[in-house]
Amino acid sequence: MNLQFFLFQTISIILWVSSYCESVLRPYKLNLQKKKKKKKETSIIMPPVFTSFQDYVTGIQTLISNVVDHIKGLETHLIALKLEELILEDTSLSLVRDYMEERKFSKTVQRKVQSSYLHSLLEIGELLKKRLETTKKLKI
């Protein structure tokens, strides 16, 4: 849960800073374009900060997309573990009752942990998809 919180806080801060940069750069770019029109110049040299910002935003989008894809893979593995658990049956008749109860308890705990992980992964995936949509709106 701490990793999940850290991940969302980090992404939120990155997006907040990116949004702030966009709000500063957009008027600057518009101002440069107006000057270009007033002077009727065919080409005005744009500062490299604009292309750097676009590269930065593209990098963030790629990173978040990769994380979302990785989470989908983890979801698949957790679901496979649940299916694997259904297949594994111990048919030995010589098991002691305590051992069977312990095994049942272990399976229950394992099932709850896997369910918790799957729920967290689904939640992370959905929130990251929303953050990815936010980054697509960052354009100057």
Taking the C-alpha atoms of residue 82 and residue 102, their distance in angstroms, rounded to an integer, is 19
Look at the alpha carbons of 68, 71, 73, 76 in this order and tell me if their dihedral is positive or negative: negative
pTM to 2 decimal places: 0.68
pLDDT in tens, 61-78: 999 999 889 888 888 888
Mean local confidence (pLDDT), 80-104: 63
Task: Give me the pLDDT at residue 85, please.
Answer: 63
Mean local confidence (pLDDT), 126-133: 89
Longest alpha-carbon distance in the chain: 93
Closest-CA residue to 64 (of 116, 140, 138, 1): 138
pLDDT at residue 92 greater than cutoff 70 = no
Mean pLDDT of the chain, nearest integer: 82
Token pair in block for residue 22:
């966009």
Q: Give me the number of domains the chain comprises.
A: 1
pLDDT in tens, 47-60: 999 999 999 999 99
Task: Name the residue with tokens 């744009």.
Answer: 46
Per DSSP, 42 falls in state: S
Taking the C-alpha atoms of residue 53 and residue 25, their distance in angstroms, rounded to an integer, is 9
Q: Where are the alpha helices (DSSP H) in the chain?
A: 2-39, 48-87, 97-136
Look at the alpha carbons of 63, 66, 67, 68 in this order and tell me if their dihedral is positive or negative: positive
Determine the structural domain holding residue 75 and report its residue range: 2-136
